[in-house]
Amino acid sequence: MSKIENKIPQGPLAEKWSKHKSDIKVVSPANKRKLDVIVVGTGLAGASAAASLGELGYNVQAFCYQDSPRRAHSIAAQGGINAAKNYQNDNDSVYRLFYDTIKGGDYRSREANVYRLAEVSPLIIDQCVAQGVPFAREYGGTLANRSFGGVLVSRTFYARGQTGQQLLLGAYSALNRQIAKGSVKMYTRHEMLDVVVKDGKAQGIVTRNMVTGEVKSYGAHAVVVATGGYGNVFFLSTNAMGCNGSAAWQCYKKGAWFGNPCFVQIHPTCIPVHGDQQSKLTLMSESLRNDGRVWVPKKKEDAEKLQKGEIGPNDIPEEDRDFYLERRYPSYGNLVPRDVASRAAKERCDAGFGVNNTGKAVYLDFKYSIERLGVDVIKARYGNLFQMYEKITDTDPYKEPMMIYPAIHYSMGGLWVDYNLMTNIPGLYAIGEANFSDHGANRLGASALMQGLADGYFVLPYTIGDYLANEIMTPKVDTNAPEFKEAEKAVTGRLEKLFNIKGSKTVDYFHKQLGHYMWDYVGMSRNAEGLKKAIDGIKKLKEEFWKDVLVPGELNNLNPELEKAGRVADAIEMGILMAQDALDRNESCGGHFRDESATEEGEAKRDDKNFTYVSCWEHKGDDKDPVLNKEDLVFENVELTQRSYK
Amino acid sequence: MADIILKKLYIKVWRQNSPKEKGRFETYEIENISQGSSFLEMLDILNDKLILEGIDPIAFDHDCREGICGMCSLYINGRAHGPDREITTCQLHMRKFNEGDTITIEPWRAGAFPVIKDLIVDRTAFEKIQQAGGFVSVNTGGIPDGNAIPIGQDDAEEAMDAAACIGCGACVATCKNSSAMLFVAAKVSQLAKLPQGKVEAKRRARNMVAKMDELGFGGCTNTGACELECPKSISISHIARLNREYLAAKFSE
Ligand SMILES: Cc1cc2nc3c(=O)[nH]c(=O)nc-3n(C[C@H](O)[C@H](O)[C@H](O)COP(=O)(O)OP(=O)(O)OC[C@H]3O[C@@H](n4cnc5c(N)ncnc54)[C@H](O)[C@@H]3O)c2cc1C
Ligand code: SF4
Ligand code: FES
């Protein structure tokens, strides 16, 4: 039995959430007015939560590091959002969405959480429509759907290629309405630098005003962390430049457990790295794999000529092209899940068959579908993506195949939370990509937007009441209390320390080094030897960073390098924990592939006997190793099977 | 097929340490920039060089670097988002420049967007305009089914055209009157096109325009410059729809 209290309600799966809602406490309107809630992060998860809590009557203070909540990285999501509406009459249901998500996550998530996610998903679409989100429509005026990888039904709602933008602008408008009413106070260009735990409960945060440099505390009866994912530990990723895991990391250092840090998702269709001047990677929508065929040359000498630029893709005759996904996975072909497609690309490139000057790219070819469907159909389907590709690479994908390569995209791991989305620190909540729940070892396409909004609109506003009902007698938090002053001192001390090192290397230098360790050893395939190498290497990098980093500018002024330095310092430590977690998990599941745990044909092999648990890492001090707690995953409703796409 | 390397470029850039200080142009040399690099990567490289030379790096806003967050906001060689159509600054590539070029970079210039530092301006005024009415007044929950009210495909598409605005402010920076009409019109028009937003359309138009005026943005004289520089091709026809809603609001007062 697991000793970890995850608060999952008893009873049949389909009744757990409604039963739980009727069991938990509710705060009266008069008392809500007296309760303060801090929401850090105003992406889909944070904006929806802050707006909903404000509507309920709580006093909300919300924070983000950009100059507007509308700029959170949720804005960049392209493809769509899932919901079990069954509008297509294709026999979709809450159960089917639940099952697809559990299976897609390779059986490393909680049944009860995932079921709830599926259960509230239809409400999200209704809510967004009411806000004026311009979802795609059929001629008859009903909502349109498309299908996405790994599922048999059509349940993805979308707004052109800008679904994340439109959903975020919807949540942002709801948030703006509350800001205007005064129920939410919004702090932009404010970065959270610590969480304050007092009397065993989260009671506030310490922030730095990014314009003036002022370090200041804010108190509340509960703190909600909605700060997104930590993909930027890898330096190059599809995340925005400012995305960071620092807020979650500060919570971890104050005692909150970090769940499954090694579970990150690698997306197979990104524009390849062009050289060492690159700052980030751009995703090309997964939908392209519906009509593009992935290949590399069969002959090594052709690949070498391509790498030297002596020939182009169109010089390679049909019979010399290796459509390796179709070859290895005849039944799913080019539509295998993200992790499988990514590893297969790496395998070919590692074997020397990469097609660009770095040897790290494969072709995604539309020639065949253009021949079959005509250029107009392809243009209608992917016109804007083709244009974006051409802007970046200066090649025309109608004439030459695209070049793609996998890149880090999403973090399934995050702060451990119970069924109420509360971390193991009372009063500290984590929602959206920042928490570990729901996606297990691999996230399905179009499910992150769903989870962020489910958490923010329909789960947290209920579950937080259960905790806050016990806080109605707690007076307004006094930020002059010693716990706050100490935290402020520690934050200021760290900023000064970073600033005063005045070493010889820029922050980016260290970030890039970290990225190399992570990508090479904690990336698409991992093994014990490599992971140990990464841990040692990153530990040395950490020492070097704290001796030799150079932070220019001023402490008390706008200073992007100082901001970055703090985030990279955290990312270095997170990298170590990610490698430790990957080392512990000697099985292959979802996005986590251990060379030691593979079939003879090189496919992933899960080990349910030994690893059906959530890794909950507990910080024990800066110079001590963290402790691994395990939450056993119990499956009462689905049977665990090995995924096969052959 | 390797990208051409630009051996030398001159970057003439606005430096201003704080809102109170007077700004000035400085020119820096930079070497060996691949034409395949993005404009912001070029600035990253320049900043790395400045840092190592002990010079404060150039502050500029950016985040997603894929043309959707609206954070990047540079005025390059006299044009908002630089010398290319339908892109943001972060989507601009060095292919658009030649060996030996001098590239002039300024912040957005508008009274309502004061400079914070170097190339970073304060666009809080945009937030205030949205807070004045850029929403549908519904709470979370208790909502009818998403398919309860049919919306014609054309209306949904037109609403989407307007909703594509990323709130960057290029329209304001481009307009000789520093008007925010295109930005305001995009939101008013999006919501007026949809039954859910139609209910409050007049009030929304009135409140958002009043806020825009109050915050010091200029009036619209229909020059159409904003439309040409808007990275998302927001059409000035939305301004016409805004004017209709605004006039209707005035008449019903
Ligand atoms: C290119 C791309 C495409 C995607 N496409 C899809 C898709 O089609 N469908 C899908 O379901 N998912 C998609 N995803 C995933 C999905 O977009 C994200 O997982 C999701 O939007 C995360 O939302 P969030 O609210 O948790 O975090 P974010 O939107 O990242 O918001 C984080 C917030 O936290 C704030 N913040 C962070 N740190 C701090 C700090 N220290 N102090 C103060 N504030 C802080 C930020 O300012 C921001 O407001 C995509 C992701 C990417 C990168
Ligand atoms: S209308 Fe165009 S230029 Fe103006 S803020 Fe919106 S996207 Fe930017
Ligand atoms: S950085 Fe996001 S639009 Fe340019």
Closest ligand relative to B168 C-alpha: 2
Band (B1; pLDDT cuts 50, 70, 90): very low
Among A306-310, A384-388, B78-82, which is the least confidently predicted range?
A384-388
Domain that holds residue B63: 5-116
User: A68 CB near a chain B CB, below 8 Å?
Assistant: yes
Please report whether residue B144 resides in a domain.
Answer: no
Q: What is the CATH number of the domain that holds B36?
A: 3.10.20.30
Among A212-216, A218-222, A337-341, which is the least confidently predicted range?
A337-341
Residues B92, B132, single domain; the answer is no
Residue A150 has what pLDDT? 65
| Average pLDDT for chain A | 95
Nearest-angstrom CA–CA distance, B238 and B216:
21
Among A280-294, A354-368, A478-492, A612-626, which is the least confidently predicted range?
A280-294
Nearest-angstrom CA–CA distance, B97 and B99:
7
Band (B2; pLDDT cuts 50, 70, 90): low
Nearest-angstrom CA–CA distance, B106 and A30:
51
Q: Whose CA is nearest to atom 1 of ligand 2?
A: B183
Closest ligand relative to B190 C-alpha: 2
pTM of the model: 0.97
Q: Whose CA is nearest to atom 2 of ligand 2?
A: B230
Which atom of ligand 1 has the smallest separation from the CA of A41?
A: 34
Nearest-angstrom CA–CA distance, A67 and B169:
13
Q: Tell me the two tokens of residue A473.
A: 């007698």
Residue with tokens 């297969």: A344
- Summarised one tens digit per residue, pLDDT across range B62-74 is 999 999 999 999 9
Band (B148; pLDDT cuts 50, 70, 90): very high
Query: Cα(first)–Cα(last) distance of chain A, in Å?
Result: 36
φ/ψ of A345, rounded to 5, equals: -65, -45
Residues B98, B29, single domain; the answer is yes
Residues B242, B159, single domain; the answer is yes
Model confidence at A316: pLDDT above 70: yes
Listed residue (B146, B190, B151, B160) closest to A125, CA to CA: B146
As to burial, measured by CB atoms within 10 angstroms (0-12 exposed, 13-18 middle, 19+ buried), residue B128 is middle
Residues B129, B101, single domain; the answer is no
Handedness of CA A304, A308, A313, A315 (dihedral sign): negative
Residues B29, B86, single domain; the answer is yes
Residue A2 has what pLDDT? 46
Residues B87, B133, single domain; the answer is no
Model confidence at B235: pLDDT above 60: yes
Residues B128, B247, single domain; the answer is yes
Enclosing H/E stretch for A181: helix A163-181
Ligand 1 centroid to residue A458 C-alpha, Å: 18
Residues B169, B52, single domain; the answer is no
Interacting residues of B86 by C-beta distance below 8 A, sequence separation 6+:
B231, B232, B233
- Summarised one tens digit per residue, pLDDT across range B75-112 is 999 999 999 999 999 999 999 999 999 999 999 999 99
Q: Tell me the two tokens of residue A52.
A: 């909903």
Residues B246, B130, single domain; the answer is yes
Interacting residues of B7 by C-beta distance below 8 A, sequence separation 6+:
B31, B32, B99
Which CATH architecture best describes the domain A267-409? Alpha-Beta Complex (3.90)
CATH number of the A482-632 domain: 1.20.58.100
- Summarised one tens digit per residue, pLDDT across range A26-43 is 999 999 999 999 999 999
Instruction: State CA B245 to chain mean position distance.
Output: 24
**CA nearest to B116 within chain A:** A211
Per-residue 3-state assignment (H helix, E strand, C coil) for A346-415? HHHHHCCCCCCCCCCCEEEECHHHHHHHCHHHHHHHHHHHHHHHHHHHCCCCCCCCEEEEEEEEEECCEE
Q: What is the CATH number of the domain that holds B224?
A: 1.10.1060.10
Q: Could you tell me if A167 and A128 are in contact, meaning their C-beta atoms sit under 8 angstroms apart?
A: yes
Residues B11, B77, single domain; the answer is yes
Mean pLDDT of A349-372: 95
Please report whether residue B172 resides in a domain.
Answer: yes
Are A279 and B150 in contact (CB < 8 Å)? no
Ligand 2: list residues with CB < 6 Å.
B 165-171, 182-183, 186, 230-232, 234
Are B163 and A166 in contact (CB < 8 Å)? yes
Model confidence at B16: pLDDT above 90: yes
Listed residue (B74, B66, B92, B62) closest to B13, CA to CA: B74
Q: Tell me the two tokens of residue A598.
A: 């593979």
Nearest-angstrom CA–CA distance, B193 and B199:
11
The neighbour count for residue A314, using CB atoms within 10 Å, is 11
User: B37 CB near a chain A CB, below 8 Å?
Assistant: yes
Instruction: State CA A94 to chain mean position distance.
Output: 23
Q: Could you tell me if A227 and A243 are in contact, meaning their C-beta atoms sit under 8 angstroms apart?
A: no
- Summarised one tens digit per residue, pLDDT across range A392-440 is 888 999 999 999 999 999 999 999 999 999 999 999 999 999 999 899 9
φ/ψ of A156, rounded to 5, equals: -100, 125
Residue A331 has what pLDDT? 85
Residues B108, B72, single domain; the answer is yes
Q: Whose CA is nearest to atom 33 of ligand 1?
A: A41
Residue A286 has what pLDDT? 82
Compute the C-alpha angle B54/B57/B59, nearest 5°. Answer: 160
The neighbour count for residue A57, using CB atoms within 10 Å, is 17
Mean pLDDT of A268-277: 88
Residues B188, B103, single domain; the answer is no
Report helix angle A163-181 to B153-163, nearest 10: 70
Closest residue to A134, CB basis, from B95, B141, B194: B194
Distance from CA of B1 to the nearest CA of A (A): 6
Mean pLDDT of A536-541: 98
Residue positions counted in chain A: 646
Nearest-angstrom CA–CA distance, A144 and A136:
5
Mean pLDDT of A459-480: 97
Residue ranges of alpha helices (H) inside chain B are 39-52, 124-131, 153-163, 170-174, 181-192, 195-198, 201-214, 225-229, 237-251
Please report whether residue B184 resides in a domain.
Answer: yes
Closest residue to B131, CB basis, from A179, A392, A552: A179
User: B32 CB near a chain A CB, below 8 Å?
Assistant: no
Residue A149 has what pLDDT? 67
Domain count across chain B: 2
Ligand 3 centroid to residue A270 C-alpha, Å: 18
**What is the DSSP secondary structure assignment for residue A31, as one 8-state letter?**
H
Mean pLDDT of A87-93: 96
Mean pLDDT of B204-229: 96
Closest ligand relative to B186 C-alpha: 2
Model confidence at B162: pLDDT above 60: yes
Handedness of CA A415, A420, A425, A429 (dihedral sign): positive
Are B130 and A173 in contact (CB < 8 Å)? yes
User: A394 CB near a chain B CB, below 8 Å?
Assistant: yes
Instruction: State CA A355 to chain mean position distance.
Output: 29
List of E strands, B37-175: 75-76, 79-80, 102-106, 115-117, 120-121
Residue B82 has what pLDDT? 97
Ligand 1 centroid to residue A126 C-alpha, Å: 22
List chain A domain ranges. Answer: 267-409, 482-632
Pocket test for ligand 1, best of A39, A65, A191 (most atoms within 8 A of CB): A65
The neighbour count for residue A150, using CB atoms within 10 Å, is 21
Pocket test for ligand 2, best of B230, B235, B239, B242 (most atoms within 8 A of CB): B230
